[in-house]
A = this chain, B = another copy of it.
Amino acid sequence: MYRPALLITRFLKPLSSHRAMSTRTIGFLGFGNMGSHMATNLMKNGYNLMLYDVSEANTARAKQLGATILSSPKEVSQNTDIVITMLPAGKHVYHAYLEKDGLFEGARKDSIFVDCTTCEPTVSRRMADEAAKVSAIYLDSPVSGGVGSARDARLTFMVGGPVNGLDKIRHLLNIMGKNVIHCGDVGMGEAAKICNNMMLGIAMIGTSEAMSLGIALGIDPKKLASVLNVSSGRSWCSDTYNPCPGVIESVPSSNDYKGGFATGLMKKDLALAQNISSELDLSTPLGASSLHIYRLLCKKGYEHKDFSYIFKFLQE
């Protein structure tokens, strides 16, 4: 479907060196729920993707959409100067980057690895150390926004690592999303993402409870939201993504809770925050309660609903 762009590139630009060609050629690992949309948006914008995915189904879909399928992470890094990875969790990052035939084995000098997986900062720091050994740069760049934002190229990237490295790949993030925030040294992108999403889970449940309480007391939900939004109870959940149907038209709560950021993903992020809390012995009681509330929501079958569904779940 995207072959024409590839053909044009081949005819119009002299194949001077693989470095020149590689500026339109990007490596990509992970054509799943999130990665497929991110990769597709890159291809739509004229980039050639050298792709690897462990799943045959994902690989087939990617091939159909115009990606060049390679047979190992190592092959991907051997053929590109920039590699983007979007994997389920930290252990998958370890596999893809460090194992035999992994990304670092084939890494070119001065190449840049951009990992968009949400995982522990300790993983990011380990990857950065290993990248340095092969003269490459590693940036942790987890995303915020969910599948819908991935599809609509409205993701927020929270990036950790050297700014000069970020500057070299920022144009790619700007294709896949609308916000790029540099958070500090490597690992700090993950740190920011994990903190943000733990806060988000707590705030969404809290806003749902406050809206429910107000409705039960007889106040019009739109009026209540408008009061919260000019008062100390204001949050992104109340003013941009209100969980009560009818308060904001364009958000999942007013559209049967479809799309958005899935309850299952919210739960996953809250579990990660708790694992880190235990590792670092931190007091995060509301984070823990929120995890168990979202876990129960998943167990009751609402894993794929938008995470604002918690408002409805708390009703009778």
Stretch at the interface among A31-39, A54-62, A130-138, A188-196: A188-196
A-B contact list, 14 entries, CB within 8 Å: A121-B217, A181-B230, A184-B218, A190-B217, A191-B218, A192-B219, A195-B217, A195-B224, A202-B210, A213-B277, A281-B299, A282-B295, A283-B314, A300-B300
**Which residues of chain B come closer than 8 Å to A228, judged between CB atoms?**
192, 195-196, 199
Verify if A285 is at the interface (C-beta below 8 Å from B).
yes
Q: Complex Cα distance A220/B192, Å?
A: 10
Among B214, B236, B241, B299, the residue within 8 A (CB) of A195 is: B214
Verify if A23 is at the interface (C-beta below 8 Å from B).
no
Q: Complex Cα distance A205/B287, Å?
A: 10
**Which residues of chain B come closer than 8 Å to A237, judged between CB atoms?**
232
Could you tell me if A195 and B211 are in contact, using CB atoms closer than 8 angstroms? yes
Query: In chain A, residues 226-242, which have Cβ atoms closer than 8 Å to a Cβ of chain B?
Result: 226-228, 230-238, 240-241
**Which residues of chain B come closer than 8 Å to A71, judged between CB atoms?**
none
Q: How far is the CB of A282 from chain B (nearest CB, A)?
A: 6
Could you tell me if B233 and A197 are in contact, using CB atoms closer than 8 angstroms? yes
Residue-wise, chain A 104-119 has the 8 Å CB interface mask toward B (1 for contact) of 0000000000000000
Q: Complex Cα distance A165/B236, Å?
A: 33
Interface centre among A144, A209, A241, A290, by most chain B C-beta atoms within 10 angstroms, is A209
Q: How far is the CB of A150 from chain B (nearest CB, A)?
A: 14
Verify if A273 is at the interface (C-beta below 8 Å from B).
yes
Query: In chain A, residues 201-217, which have Cβ atoms closer than 8 Å to a Cβ of chain B?
Result: 202-203, 205-207, 209-214, 216-217
Known contacts A288-B288, A288-B292; A235 and B281 CB within 8 A of each other: no
**Which residues of chain B come closer than 8 Å to A275, judged between CB atoms?**
275, 278
Could you tell me if B299 and A316 are in contact, using CB atoms closer than 8 angstroms? yes
Query: In chain A, residues 279-308, which have Cβ atoms closer than 8 Å to a Cβ of chain B?
Result: 280-293, 295-296, 298-300
Known contacts A278-B274, A283-B212, A288-B292; A196 and B315 CB within 8 A of each other: no
Please give me the residue from chain B that is nearest to A238 by CB atom. B199
Could you tell me if A198 and B210 are in contact, using CB atoms closer than 8 angstroms? yes
Q: Which 10 A-B pairs have the closest CB atoms?
A: A202-B206, A199-B233, A235-B235, A196-B233, A191-B217, A285-B292, A199-B210, A283-B314, A288-B288, A195-B214
Query: In chain A, residues 168-192, which have Cβ atoms closer than 8 Å to a Cβ of chain B?
Result: 179, 181, 183-185, 187-188, 190-192
Please give me the residue from chain B that is nearest to A190 by CB atom. B217
**Which residues of chain B come closer than 8 Å to A223, judged between CB atoms?**
183-184, 188, 192
Verify if A248 is at the interface (C-beta below 8 Å from B).
no
Verify if A158 is at the interface (C-beta below 8 Å from B).
yes
**Which residues of chain B come closer than 8 Å to A274, judged between CB atoms?**
274, 278, 288
Verify if A271 is at the interface (C-beta below 8 Å from B).
yes
**Which residues of chain B come closer than 8 Å to A296, judged between CB atoms?**
283, 285, 314
Verify if A98 is at the interface (C-beta below 8 Å from B).
no
Verify if A156 is at the interface (C-beta below 8 Å from B).
yes
Verify if A276 is at the interface (C-beta below 8 Å from B).
yes
Could you tell me if B278 and A289 are in contact, using CB atoms closer than 8 angstroms? no
